Amino acid sequence: MLQSEMTKEKERATLIYDGNCPICSGTVKWIREHEQEGAFEMLPCQSERRGAEFPDVERAECMQAMHLVLPDGKVLAGEKALPEILLRLRRYRFAAAFFKLPGAQTISRIAYRWFADRRYAIAHILSHLTGGRKAA
């Protein structure tokens, strides 16, 4: 591996997500399309690698919320990961500032938890609305 590739890999954040959830998988696809080059490694919660490389991120926890493991090892779960994800995207960095507004953390926590708890039902509804095509 070249030195530049090793440096990029060390700067890469790992996004751990529910690989069985159509909305989560669609979101990961969208993030991949908009990420700054090499900003993320995507890792399904169900992957054996998750347990081996990130033993502190337990399966039950990552099935409840996405987890972003930063290059320094810090783990951000759920809505706390959103600003950091936005900072690593092209053209969407500005949106991270919204999470600094008064009340934004409370609103994002409530909205994220509501959505995450219902993501499979929402995916099912979207699937029916789109005629069986994959939602997301």
| Model confidence pLDDT, tens digit, residues 81-92 | 999 999 999 999
Domain boundaries, the chain: 3-129
Complete edge-to-edge strand list for the sheet that includes strand 40-44 = 40-44, 13-17, 67-69, 75-77
pTM of the model: 0.85
Which pLDDT does position 54 carry in this prediction? 94
In Å, what is the CA distance from 73 to each residue of 10, 55, 65? 10, 12, 18
Is the domain covering 3-129 a CATH 3.40.30 domain? yes
Angle ∠(87,90,91) on CA atoms, nearest 5: 95
Please state the rounded mean pLDDT for residues 106-130. 93
| Model confidence pLDDT, tens digit, residues 48-106 | 999 999 999 999 999 999 999 999 999 999 999 999 999 999 999 999 999 999 999 99
Which pLDDT does position 5 carry in this prediction? 46
